[in-house]
Amino acid sequence: MRHPAVARLLSKNLVLPVALSLLGLSATAQTMAPASSPMGIYGGGAFGIGAHQWDCGSECNRAAFSGKVFGGKRLTPGLAAEINYFVFGTVDSDNDPARTAATGVATERRDVRAVTFGVNWEVELLHGITNHLRVGVARKRTDREVTLASGARADERGYGTAPYVGAALSYQPVRDVRLIAGFDYIIDGRGSNYLFSVGASGEF
């Protein structure tokens, strides 16, 4: 049986090395843990193919080069308030004589821009890979250049509000920089728009 005095001596001799070891592990863990950005603000841009779900004429295009810029402020580590500005590419429509007679429109050129307000919810799937889910509301501006059946030209501008959703995957190659591939959809019936894009963002 070990003598009590010897046990007390061993205990005192073990306390200091164990305490120093724990302090060392704690410091190492703090060094390895990624530090959060002090301001919690991010911004970036993305470009790709945008589509117009419009009721166009006999010959028309529905897709064009499009893009967006965006920025957000983190409310929690996984949730941010976010704003996006979309520029959907210009699309054209030409009507055949029968459709021109029926609609009174011979040609149309359409350009859509939109600002969305919403939230970005982030879920880390793997180390460095994050899923982004977005939901909000879009304020749209649609510019139309129309050639009427009579040959006269008319310019029209309309505004509307519609729901907005989006989904993306991002990869973080270095701290505070993300590479992003995503899909954004403004749900507006036959006036809907969506964007497939790739881009990048930085956090501050």
What's the token pair of residue 38? 């002090």
Q: What is the pLDDT of residue 19?
A: 41
Residue stretches of the chain with pLDDT short of 70: 1-37
Distance CA 191, CA 91 (A): 13
Q: What is the pLDDT of residue 136?
A: 98
Q: What is the pLDDT of residue 171?
A: 96
Place of tokens 């505070």: 176
Distance CA 88, CA 65 (A): 7
Distance CA 174, CA 1 (A): 58
Phi and psi at residue 14, to the nearest 5°: -90, -25
Distance CA 164, CA 185 (A): 6
Distance CA 104, CA 97 (A): 10
pTM of full prediction above 0.85: no
Q: Which helix (H) or strand (E) holds 171?
A: strand 153-174
Question: pLDDT over 90 for what percent of the chain?
Answer: 66
Q: What is the pLDDT of residue 24?
A: 47
Nearest Cα neighbor of 188 from 112, 133, 124 is: 112
Q: Are 158 and 146 in contact (CB under 8 A)?
A: no
Helices (H) then strands (E): counts for the chain: 2, 9
